[in-house]
Amino acid sequence: MKALFPRTLFVRLALAWCLALLATHLINVGAAYVQTINYQTTRTSYYLAKDLALLVPALEAADAPARAGWIRKMERKSYGFSLAPAGTRVPEASAESSASAREVVADIGRELGPRYPVAASAPISDDEWVRLHLTLADGTLLTAAMRAFRPSLSWWGGVIFMVQALAVALLTWLAVRQATAPLQRLAEAAEVLGTSMRCEPIAEDGPLEVARAAAAFNAMGRRIKEHLAERVRILAAISHDLQTPITRMRLRADLMENPALRIKMEGDLDAMQVLVEEGIAYARTADRVTEAPCLVDIGALLDTLVCDYVDAGQQVQLSGELAQIVTTRPHTLRRIVMNLADNALKFADKVEIIVERAGTERLAVIVRDRGPGIAPEHLAQVFQPFYRIENSRNRGTGGTGLGLAIAQQLSLALDGTLTLANREGGGLEATLTFAAA
């Protein structure tokens, strides 16, 4: 049942308003039907009483053949008359006679007076509503059969309802569009804010409630971006300021007489230097990337990168749809692929880089290895800064925890997404999908 319930605001409002319109229309039709029945009954009762006031004296004065002529002359669409021989028993009044039938009897009684008492009985066919009986002076039974009134529904009533429904749907679309357009902008801005923290303030217009929500969202976005910017500035400042004491410590280490201790000290300083450099790199990537997009030969760009790895003695291979000329940010793309390849080479001896189309306007660069992979519960968390699956401080195995975070941050500048997945048979697959118009 829940699956059948409409999910969009437009459909919900249109359905609710059309159902309300239908209910109102049915109520109006029902009320009009009852009112028409009551009006027609009152009108028929009035004219029947007047006709009987003329017919009864005429029948009293006429002979049998003349009476038949009077009966035919007084025939109406709403009622008719018939005569029964003298001595015919008057039907008993029906216990189920309606209040309307009793009112008709009262109206006729007022016109004819007490000399001609009127009795009502049940109809004998579906075309009749009620039968009224009175006895003439010679004992002849005069019966008036009031025919049932069935108002017909014309086709134009349905046409009017359809026109009303279309008008409601059109007005609903206009109203919902006015209300949901700011909500759509709000949703898009929230999505951008959740991924890159670089969304522009949205217009604070539309209905009052939507405008207030937009204003609250803009204020929230400003506070979040200010908070994160402050964290990035602190990280950049600490990383930058650490370079001076690291340099002094390196100079002092050179003066140490114990070679073994000097080698250990220089190793620690190298690890600290790498951590500082990557901290500064992450702080820079957290800011807006200013590199301008340009036409890039993806095959040539990645081939140069792979050749550098091969010259350094690393087993890195390139394959796929390399004949791609796209518009993107080349230095940003190169840095992302380098970070992914460096991360793969920490845990595997061989790395594959594959280029594939991901639709008409997007391109995918896949970096594969046959290393140990990543546990499923860590796949999303490894993109967090300083998050390391291995808790050791060993630079060779644990790393700094910034490589994938930097790659994830840079992928946003390409309007891209970076995902990780374990391969069948072991290993990891990192897929960068980015806009390549």
What is the domain count for the chain? 3
Q: Same domain, yes or no, for 303 and 408?
A: yes
Q: In this predicted model, what pLDDT tens digit does every residue of 23-41 receive, in sequence order?
A: 887 888 788 778 877 778 8
pLDDT in the model for residue 159: 82
157 lies in some domain: no
Say if residue 285's pLDDT is above 70. Answer: no
CATH number of the domain at 129, please: 3.30.450.300
Identify any residues that bridge with 97 across adjacent strands, giving them in sequence order: none
Residue 75 main-chain phi, psi, to 5 deg: -65, 135
% residues pLDDT > 90 (the chain) = 8
CATH number of the domain at 324, please: 3.30.565.10
Among the listed ranges 46-50, 58-62, 224-228, 344-348, which one has the minimum average pLDDT value? Answer: 224-228
Say if residue 94's pLDDT is above 70. Answer: no
pLDDT in the model for residue 288: 53
Q: Same domain, yes or no, for 122 and 230?
A: no
Q: Same domain, yes or no, for 231 and 364?
A: no
pLDDT in the model for residue 96: 47
422 lies in some domain: yes
pLDDT in the model for residue 95: 45
Q: What domain range is 370 assigned to?
A: 291-435
Q: Same domain, yes or no, for 297 and 215?
A: no
Q: In this predicted model, what pLDDT tens digit does every residue of 209-261 receive, in sequence order?
A: 777 888 888 888 788 777 767 766 776 777 777 777 878 887 877 878 788 88
Q: Same domain, yes or no, for 427 and 297?
A: yes
Among the listed ranges 87-101, 125-139, 144-158, which one has the minimum average pLDDT value? Answer: 87-101
pLDDT in the model for residue 367: 93
Q: Which of 353, 264, 270, 267 is nearest to 308 (CA)?
A: 353
Q: Which residue has the higher pLDDT, 254 or 399?
A: 254
211 lies in some domain: yes
d(CA 352, CA 366): 8
pLDDT in the model for residue 235: 67
Q: Same domain, yes or no, for 227 and 112?
A: no
Amino acid present at 118: V
Q: Which residue has the higher pLDDT, 187 or 54?
A: 54
Q: In this predicted model, what pLDDT tens digit does every residue of 295-340 receive, in sequence order?
A: 989 889 999 999 999 998 999 999 988 888 888 888 888 888 988 9
8 lies in some domain: yes
Q: Which residue has the higher pLDDT, 319 or 157?
A: 319
pLDDT tier at 366 (50, 70, 90 boundaries)? very high
Q: Same domain, yes or no, for 320 and 409?
A: yes
- What's the mean pLDDT when you consider all of the chain? 80
332 lies in some domain: yes
% residues pLDDT > 70 (the chain) = 84
- Whether the model clears a pTM of 0.75, i.e. scores above it, the answer is no
Last residue of a domain, one of 83, 112, 147: 147
Q: Same domain, yes or no, for 26 and 76?
A: yes
Q: Same domain, yes or no, for 102 and 217?
A: no
Q: In this predicted model, what pLDDT tens digit does every residue of 176-220 receive, in sequence order?
A: 777 777 777 777 777 766 555 566 777 777 677 777 888 888 888
Say if residue 365's pLDDT is above 80. Answer: yes
229 lies in some domain: yes
pLDDT in the model for residue 413: 76
Q: Same domain, yes or no, for 13 and 129?
A: yes
Q: Same domain, yes or no, for 241 and 295?
A: no
pLDDT in the model for residue 351: 93
Q: Same domain, yes or no, for 320 and 374?
A: yes
pLDDT in the model for residue 391: 43
Last residue of a domain, one of 112, 147, 182: 147
273 lies in some domain: no
16 lies in some domain: yes
